[in-house]
Structures are given as structure tokens and as C-alpha cells.
Amino acid sequence: MRKFAIVWAGQLVSVIGSALSAFVIGVWVYLETGSVTQFVLIQFCAVLPGILAAPVAGTITDRWNRRRIMVTADLGAGAATAVLFTLVVTGSLSVWPIYLTTAFSAACNAFHLVAFTALVPALVPKKHLGRVNGLMQITQGVQIAAPLVAGALLGLVGLRGVLLIDLVGMVFAVCSLLAARLPAEVIRPVPADGDEPAGFTAGLRYLRGRRGLFNLVVVFAVWNFLFAIAGGLVQPLILSFSGPATLGVLMAAGGSGLFVGSLVMAAWGGPKRRIDGVYLGLVLGGVFLVLHSLRPSAWLIAVVAPAFLFTLPLMNTACITLIQTKVDPAVLGRVLGAVRMVSQAAMPLAYLAIGPLSDGVFEPLMAEDGALAGSVGALIGTGDGRGIALIFLVVGVLMLALAGHAYSRPRLRNLDEELPDAVAPVNSKETV
């Protein structure tokens, strides 16, 4: 656990720096161009390359030294930040280099995350996996809370200073990886069975041969899609009845829910039956999304947004721990790559669809004279932002339906008992 703590601490510092720079770069693009479309394209570039790179990352993780993969990925992301830093210093920063470096960093982060997630079950005792995966969720809480700190830093040290902080964080992460004396079999892939399929499709074939795990990944993918819709619309929902200052406070409140959820999972580790954590996360998440829609109130959002984000570490920890414990270590990297690709494939579609759906369909329906003003409008209200509220209502109901569907699948419901745990390698005294 001490070795894991050294590696994790370095990665957390790096994530903090990256989250700060990502926020200030987005602010720079919006202020420079005044275009919401160009701002949203940054989010698109931050998601799609990671999805496309995931299968390749999984294959390489199962064949190469995992620490070297993580170091190389960190250095690659750091090089992208260094390019932006140089452009800022020389006064030649423009929008297109930001898109390119964001896409490159996203691909590097995919390699890093797959290698790190595959390394963890070989480093940490199985009984602690749930708590460790909960601890790893803290990085997402940090990313949501980053705008508060980044806004202050932007005024103190400027864009150049924030990028420099990101570079220092990357150096710290690389040094922590190199300093940690890890058992040899933790960073070296387990030799694969000669009958195990090779290539990009190996992870997907492995999952399809174990129906319970495959159903879990499909449920995880649908949940990610619904989560992306809610995440993409929560800021417009808040701004429909309040101002930017309130938005900042409520976003920080939401981040606190995610942070507290991560701490709870780090201390608890989740239910003994991991699949129960999935069902609990789906049901609670659906209920809290429905509650978002009831009225245009900052006080309501201040309660339900943190409560909803509290369920994110619960879902992620349960899903990742199940995969880590049930998948053969020899193919774990490829399976994790397939899981990342499948589970996040629909998220870019969600980001592209929410604007037209909100502006062109749901907002007109919930206008004061809209088609649903006399029915649904009597429950959640009409006017500006109530179309977005209706989307939250629909997404919450769909999440509850997803929970019911998932529970109806016997292979998924009995996954903990029916699929035996994989045999993890025993740590030797040799360290590298």
C-alpha cells in the first residue's frame, strides 16, 4: 500500500495541474473567440482521442513495462503543455494548437489510465481493491473543483504561470513513478496463454465470452451516456435561474459531493457484493436526477447536485473492482482498453446532441405556451430552462429504468458468485 501511495500521490499532483490548465485554456478560447462552438470543441477533443486510443493502449499494456508506459504517457502530455507554454511566452498562441495538443494529451492520458488501472490489482491486495479504487476517484473531484482555484490563479500568475504549474506537476508525477520500488511482476505483464486471442479485439472477445461482465460494460456505457447528458446541461440549467457567481458556488458544491463520495469509498471499499454497488448507484443517481427538475432553485441544486455526484465514485469503484478481480491478469490491459472504448463511445454523441435537443425540442415544449405547458409544466414549471429541467427528468427516469433492466439480467445480478475471481500474481521480493 505504501508503494501505491507513492505512485498515486504523484499522479494526483499531476491531475491537479492538468485540471487547472484545462480550465484556463478553455477560458482563454472563449474570451478570445466569443464562440461557444469553439469552446465545446475543446471538450470534444478531450474525449474522442482517448476513446480511439484505448484499444491500442490495452494491447500495449499487456505486452510492455507498465511503468514505462505511464512515464512515457506523462512525458507526452507534459510535452503538449510545454508547446502551449512556449506559444504563450512567444505571444503566438491560437485556437488550433490548443485543439491539437488537447487531443494528443487525451490519447496520452488513455495510455496512462489503462496501464495504471492494470497495475493496481497486481500491486494492491484484493481485499483493499475497493478502497484503492475509491481513492483513485478523488482525481475526478479535483477536476470539478479546479475552476475555483484556477480562477484565482489566473488573476495571480496568468495563463503562463498556470501552465508552468502543470509542467511542475508532470515532473513530480514522473519522479514518483521512477522512485517507487515496485515488484517486478507488477510492472511486467503476466505471460499470456498461447490460446488467448491477440490484437485490439482480444479484450472485447474476452468480455463477450463472459456474459455477466459484458452486460456490466453495456450498463456502464449507457450510464456514462446519461451521465454525460446531465453533466453537459447542469451549467445551463443553473444559469437559467441564477448568475455566474451562484454557478461557481454550486459547481464547487457538486465537486464536494464527488470528493466526499471518493473518501467514503476509500474508507469503506463498497458493498461485499460489488454488483450491489452498481444497482445502488443507478437507483440513487436516477432519483437525484429527477429531483434536479422539480423547481428552479439554487438551494435545491445545492443539495441534489452533490448527492448525485456522490454516486459517481460508488458506480466507478464497483465496476472497476469487478473487472479487476474477475479478469485474467494476462489480458487485463486489453479488457480495460475495450471497456474504456465501449463505455465511453456514446459520450461524444451526448455532447453533440444536447444543444440541438435542448434548444430545438425541449425548450419549445416547455415554453409558457408550449405543447407540454399544461401537463408536465404543471409539475416542473414553464419558461426559460424548464426544457433543460425536462431533460433531467427524462434522463433520471431512464437511469431508474436502466437499474430495473440490469437487475433483470441473471448473469449480471449473480456476477459476484457465478464468475470466479482471477488469480493475481504473487509479489516477489525483486523490485525494479
- pLDDT given at position 303: 96
Does one domain contain both 245 and 351?
yes
Bridge partner list, 183: 431
- In eight-state DSSP terms, residue 431 is B
In a domain, 432, yes or no: no
362, 392: one domain: yes
- Residue 146, domain member (yes or no): yes
Between CA 34 and CA 337 the distance in angstroms is: 37
Residue 359: what pLDDT?
Answer: 84
Q: Are residues 181 and 204 in the same domain?
A: no
Residue 429 domain-assigned (yes or no): no
Give the Cα separation of 179 and 186 in Å (integer): 15
The pTM assigned to this predicted structure is: 0.82
155 domain-assigned = yes
Helix, strand, or coil here: 59? helix
Regions of the chain with pLDDT less than 50: 195, 425-428
CATH number for the domain including 8? Answer: 1.20.1250.20
Q: What is the pLDDT of residue 428?
A: 47
Question: Is 430 domain-assigned?
Answer: no
The domain containing residue 144 runs over which residues? 1-189
Q: What is the pLDDT of residue 419?
A: 92
Residue 184's pLDDT is 75
137 located within any domain: yes
Assess whether 153 and 264 both reside in one domain: no
Of 189, 213, 243, the domain-final residue: 189
What's residue 431's pLDDT? 55
Q: Do 91 and 149 fall into the same domain?
A: yes
- Domain count within the chain: 2
Q: In the listed set 166, 189, 212, which residue is the last one of a domain according to the structure? A: 189
Instruction: Compute the distance between CA of residue 106 and CA of residue 102 in angstroms, rounded to an integer.
Output: 6
CA distance 355 to 363: 11
Q: Tell me, yes or no, whether 41 lies in a domain.
A: yes
- What are residue 431's phi and psi, to 5 degrees? -120, 155
| Pair 318, 183 in one domain | no
Looking at the fold, whether 221 and 304 belong to one and the same domain comes out as yes
Please give the Cα distance from 138 to 168 (Å, whole number).
20
Q: Is residue 297 located within the same domain as residue 366?
A: yes
| φ, ψ at 189 (rounded to 5°) | -60, 145
In DSSP terms, 431 is beta-bridged to: 183
Domain check: are 260 and 386 in the same one? yes
179 and 244 co-located in one domain: no
Same domain assignment for residues 178 and 272: no
Find out whether 213 and 420 touch, Cβ atoms under 8 Å. no
* Cβ pair 322, 343 in contact under 8 A: no
The answer on 51 and 2 residing in a single domain is yes
Residue 194 lies in a domain: no
Domain boundary residue, one of 148, 165, 189: 189
Q: What does the pLDDT look like over 346-366, one tens digit per residue?
A: 888 887 788 788 888 999 999
